[in-house]
Structure 1
């Protein structure tokens, strides 16, 4: 059966947001008088903001820190930075437009829905993804499959009839646990062990290569 839905991750697949998240965390944590290196803040790209900050507070022995308040401050800064520089990956807009009308489209992300909406508006794609699952829609974020299962439920599609695009081992694990085939996208990482048995593309610019992997013929 041909593919009926394509589910996109957001950070690292649709938009190049890693440096924005790192900078937003560094500016937020500077208000506590902390200078936190890039490699520490980069961990927040892979986990829930609240988990990242709670762990950091524990490491620095800050008791009763206002995790929710600082996360809100960081998110406000992230949204402002994304509005100024949405950083949409090359080929993304063209790919999405080529898929409209052929398959259902969804986004499943660990980020806040506000960030997704900002970038989609900048790309004139705000109506392209009727189904968006963000951080606030789930109890457990990736690598838990809850987000993907919720998206499939909303789409009314079985996992074997859909395919996901992911850019990290965490995202790949979430999609696979939901029963989805996955294409690994190398925007942030070169092909390596993190890809496992999934198909791999360097980026989203080569539609003649990507469309057959999506189960949609020759593009």
Structure 2
């Protein structure tokens, strides 16, 4: 019987809906679409930040050096980079509606400061009992230990938990520890898949 639901944040509950801010800089730097995100996220410093061994400032300093940007320019790039991100209030509301029948948590690969950022969004606090952030626990998905840590925090067995993520590798890692995994492709399909799992496990 399902007792706990875990969700990823970035790409699931918080998605980049408006790319115009990033595209402005991609044109300036001669990068393809999504090329700026690739530069920001796929480097050694960002990987260290994801497990709490570097700060957000370290990541942006690396980007500034890469593109030879002034302090004002990197501050503007940062603002533009996040400006198109939107919380999916409907999906977050769906999760909130599952409480208190199910325990609800987040398992997210994210940099230091994420917990404080999410605390400013009351709907997240209402929807989720516990936020497991990779930078705070020093382990990142798809490492199975982060799933075991989340399960342990709720005292539930893997077979009694569902995990939703937009990255298939992470979903497969959760399945590998015995959780039910849902690969996020869009909000409607995800809600249907979670509902179906909950129904099936109750029969």
Q: Fold match, TM over 0.5? A: yes
1:114-129 matched pairs, under 5 angstroms: 114-115=113-114, 117-119=116-118, 121-129=120-128
- Residues 67 and 138 from structure 1, CA distance in 2 versus in 1: closer, same or farther, beyond 3 angstroms? closer
Q: What TM-score does the superposition give when structure 2 sets the normalisation length?
A: 0.66
Distance, in Å, in 1 between the alignment partners of 2:93 and 2:55 is 39
Distance, in Å, in 2 between the alignment partners of 1:134 and 1:48 is 19
Paired residues, what number?
Answer: 185
> Which residue number corresponds to residue 70 of structure 1?
58
Distance, in Å, in 2 between the alignment partners of 1:133 and 1:185 is 19
- Residues 128 and 104 from structure 1, CA distance in 2 versus in 1: closer, same or farther, beyond 3 angstroms? same
Distance, in Å, in 1 between the alignment partners of 2:123 and 2:55 is 34
Distance, in Å, in 1 between the alignment partners of 2:113 and 2:78 is 7
- Residues 149 and 81 from structure 1, CA distance in 2 versus in 1: closer, same or farther, beyond 3 angstroms? farther
Distance, in Å, in 2 between the alignment partners of 1:23 and 1:48 is 18
2:45 maps to which of 44, 50, 57: 50
Kindly provide the CA deviation profile for residues 180-203 of structure 1, in whole angstroms up to 9, marking residues without a partner as x: 111111139xxxxxxxxxxxx634
Q: Is contact 1:86–1:118 with CA below 8 Å preserved after alignment?
A: no
1:149-188 matched pairs, under 5 angstroms: 149-187=148-186
- Residues 90 and 96 from structure 1, CA distance in 2 versus in 1: closer, same or farther, beyond 3 angstroms? same
Measured after TM superposition, the shift of residue 5 of structure 1 is: 0.4
> Which residue number corresponds to residue 101 of structure 2?
102
Larger RCO, structures 1/2 (Cα 8 Å, 6+ apart)? 2
Q: Is contact 2:96–2:128 with CA below 8 Å preserved after alignment?
A: no
> Which residue number corresponds to residue 15 of structure 1?
14
Q: Is contact 1:16–1:88 with CA below 8 Å preserved after alignment?
A: yes
> Which residue number corresponds to residue 213 of structure 1?
197
> Which residue number corresponds to residue 142 of structure 1?
141
Q: Is contact 2:55–2:112 with CA below 8 Å preserved after alignment?
A: no
